[in-house]
């Protein structure tokens, strides 16, 4: 692709990052240039974020319905899975699974809740008194 044909379409990442692409310069030699993205990538990225936002809303509703603990919501909100959260908290994955149950979550000590709060960058109070 020629340097002047390099797409510069706006996307969700505009202002945060740009992509390095190989382009042909005016002299016919390959060089690198920066692109803010193009429409096809923008649509794929927007679709992925829509899916993520749907999962966050479903997690919020599950917590409000008493099906899951607030840990589940914050895992979705912070884009964490069990291994990642385990790494941040030091809890085993099977322990975290237990903590996802509202009845078990209510009995957690402040020190355990503090580990989760630190991982999610919220206060223990926000974790205990989920408002979503």
Per-run averaged pLDDT (10 residues), the chain, 132 residues:
76 74 87 81 86 98 98 98 98 98 98 98 96 82
pLDDT for position 80: 98
Q: Selecting from 3.40.1130, 2.40.128, 1.10.260, 1.20.1740, what CATH number does the domain 52-128 have?
A: 1.10.260
Query: Which residues have a Cβ under 8 Å from the Cβ of 76 and sit 6 or more positions away?
Result: 52, 55, 56, 58, 59
Q: What is the pLDDT of residue 46?
A: 85
Q: What residue ranges do the domains of the chain occupy?
A: 3-37, 52-128
37 and 13 Cβ atoms separated by less than 8 Å: yes
Helix axes 82-89, 110-120, angle to 10 degrees: 120
Q: Are 127 and 70 in contact (CB under 8 A)?
A: yes
Cut 0.75: pTM above it: yes
């Amino acid at each position: 692709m020629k340097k002047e044909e390099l797409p510069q379409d706006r996307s969700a990442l505009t202002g945060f990052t740009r992509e390095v692409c190989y382009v042909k310069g005016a002299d016919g030699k390959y060089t690198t240039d920066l692109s803010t993205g193009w429409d096809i990538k923008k649509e794929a990225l927007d679709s992925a974020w829509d899916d993520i936002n749907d999962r966050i809303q479903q997690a919020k509703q599950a917590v409000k319905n008493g099906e899951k603990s607030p840990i589940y919501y914050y895992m979705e909100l912070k884009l964490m899975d069990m291994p990642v959260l385990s790494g941040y908290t030091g809890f085993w994955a099977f322990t975290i699974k237990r903590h996802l149950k509202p009845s078990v979550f209510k009995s957690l000590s402040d020190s355990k809740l503090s580990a989760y709060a630190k991982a999610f960058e919220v206060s223990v109070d926000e974790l205990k008194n989920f408002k979503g």
